[in-house]
A and B are shown apart, each in its own frame.
Chain A
Amino acid sequence: MDQLSGKARKFGDNINTDYIIAGKYKFKSTDMNDMAKHLMEDVRPGFIDEIVKGDFIVAGHNFGMGSSREQAPLVIKAAGISAVIAKDFARIFYRNSINVGLPVIECDTDSIDEGDALKVDLEEGIVHNVTKGKKIKATPLPPVMVKILKDGGLAEHFQKHGGFKLE
């Protein structure tokens, strides 16, 4: 897993999956690049135009609450976001992200501001705020999820092992 770098795009608490990608779009298509145009549309109109490939979504508590739609992490990936960094995540979103190979990092995000340059070392679990010259320790992923993420996602894990090989 490589080191990631990009700028912080800051959001608040309880960003739900309807905000990430609204139901009115997700039922229409499976084209994630097309749907990515509507990422966060209802809470931050024009967000897709602000994103530079590699940027991070940085948020508060309970990121990804709500529906089980896997379109949510897929659309974030398709928009060029390299990882989501939040204080904590909703359960299904967290699991879906790992399954589709979107890194999710749990750490204290209070000191990160919009536009801060960040470098993230997934292996070490460190978020380096280059702008502020500060390093933040992330909560390690559960080992079972590290295995899935290292394989590239659950589909790739199944291709490689022919089923679950987690225990």
Chain B
Amino acid sequence: MGTIAEKILSAHAGKDVKQGDIIVCPVDFMMSQDGTTPLTIRAFKDMQGKKFKDPSSYVIVIDHNAPSPMESVSNLHREMRSFATQFGARLFDVGEGVCHVIVPEQGYALPGSVIIGADSHTCTYGALNSFATGVGSTDLAAALISGKTWFKVPSTIKLRYDGKLPTGVYSKDIALRMTGRLTANGATYKALEIEGEAIDALSVDARMTISNLAVETGAKVGLMRCDEKTIEYLRTRARSSFKGVDPDPDAKYEAVLKEDVSKLSPQIACPPDVDNVLPIEKIEGKEVNQVFIGTCTNGRVEDLRIAAKILDGKQVAKGVRLIVSPASKEVLLSAMECGIIQKLVKAGASVTTPSCGPCVGTCNGIPSDEEVVLSTANRNFRGRMGNSKSHIFLSSPATAAYSAIKGFIADPREVL
């Protein structure tokens, strides 16, 4: 009688655990990125680490500040490369993409597994039925050495989405609606279980957009069931065998929230918080200066395909910059093969290296004072993109692409 979280953690702890229990349990996979690896190295040394428990279960990704814009960053990248070489971890270097897109693509995130990553959006892999959560560098270093971490077994809120998404409304709109409804700390320390016919109808890529935003409600994980689509996604990717974990029919939930998405509008998160969400009708017409399509939330090929469909044969409005960051090398290659990149560039997009792009204010498009950015990312905090005097709104790729053409926040249902 357990939730997905309780059942995955029970299987790993080797005993039946329930919400509130403190457990030390084995970790199946670990990841860190260029903002968190330097401190992981420091913590590993402070702990007098000599080797990794299992080097094949850890990858490092250089994505947040890539390619390096300055020498201090280059030197940190060099330190990460030598750490990976010395201890036998795989490193995905500049140009290979965003950690949370690479990890599922490369078959590291498996149903029923426990994953920790030194990045808060590690919860993305919940869409693949992984108990995956973000930790700090010191927790990661401890797990590299011991193969384990500790958890408080979370209680679970179930979110059920039924109905059929209208044309022009996407999984990002469900995700933003979720953060608006739960608020930024509505699920702190809790697990989310996300299900329903609207979720079943989504591709695995689109599901990851929703699990990605779980942390914006404070949640530890954003878990979905493993279904035929999950199995098909992993068929050529999975690095080992796996078994999906479903909740028991008599599992105990802290709350069950239901919503019908049939009448959902495109949603916009307004600055400076991700839970400050409005339906597009209340904000359309707001002038934009820069539009950004990419990130671990919405930089997958399906996202770029939607944007290209809207931008095909059109031009970005005068005075608007459109920046597109394909989220991985695989995404970039497949977007080139089907002509998506050509359409985007012809419409006026500036396409960056597969990376986090300008999401976290390191490089690739820092807005100027008082500029308005419409972004497909997951955070709109003041200063997030490198300038505290700019204003960041969040939306789906469709809303972003159509707004880039219009020069203001515009409703993509008009053209779809």
Contact = CB atoms under 8 A, between A and B. Distances in A.
Interface of A: 14, 16, 18-19, 22-24, 26-30, 41-43, 61-62, 65-71, 74, 88, 90-92, 95-96, 99-100, 142-144, 153-155, 158-159, 163-164, 166-167
Contacts of A30: 38-39, 42, 76
Interface string B26-55: 000000001110110011001110000000
B118 interface: yes
B22 A164 contact: no
18 contacts: A16-B381, A18-B381, A18-B383, A23-B386, A27-B34, A27-B360, A28-B73, A28-B76, A42-B388, A66-B379, A67-B119, A68-B136, A69-B35, A70-B39, A70-B138, A99-B136, A142-B152, A164-B24
Contacts of B309: none
A81 B36 CA distance: 22
Contacts of A99: 136, 138-139
A14 B150 contact: no
B382 A23 contact: no
A96 B136 contact: yes
Given A66-B381, A68-B118, A164-B148, A23 B360 contact: yes
Contacts of B42: 30
Contacts of B47: 154-155, 158-159
Interface in B101-142: 117-120, 122, 134-139, 141-142
Contacts of A100: 136, 138
B273 A14 contact: yes
Nearest to A148: B150
Contacts of B220: 91
Contacts of A92: 120, 134-136
A163 B188 contact: no
Contacts of B184: 14, 62, 65
Contacts of B189: 91
Contacts of A14: 184-185, 273
B64 interface: yes
B388 A66 contact: no
Contacts, number: 152
Interface in B352-375: 360-362, 366
Contacts of A29: 72, 76
Nearest to A45: B388
A27 to B, nearest CB: 4
Contact of B73 (A27, A70, A164): A27
A-side binding surface: helix, strand, loop or mixed? Answer: loop
Given A65-B218, A68-B118, A42 B35 contact: no
A166 B136 contact: no
Contacts of A167: 22-24
Given A27-B64, A42-B388, A88-B185, 13 more contacts: A18-B384, A24-B362, A24-B383, A30-B76, A42-B382, A62-B184, A68-B117, A91-B188, A96-B139, A100-B138, A158-B145, A166-B150, A167-B24
Contacts of A22: 361, 383, 386, 388
Interface string B65-83: 1000010110010000000
B185 A61 contact: yes
B146 interface: yes
Interface in B328-347: none
Q: 8 tightest CB-CB pairs across the interface, nearest first?
A: A96-B136, A42-B388, A23-B360, A155-B46, A42-B383, A62-B185, A70-B136, A99-B138
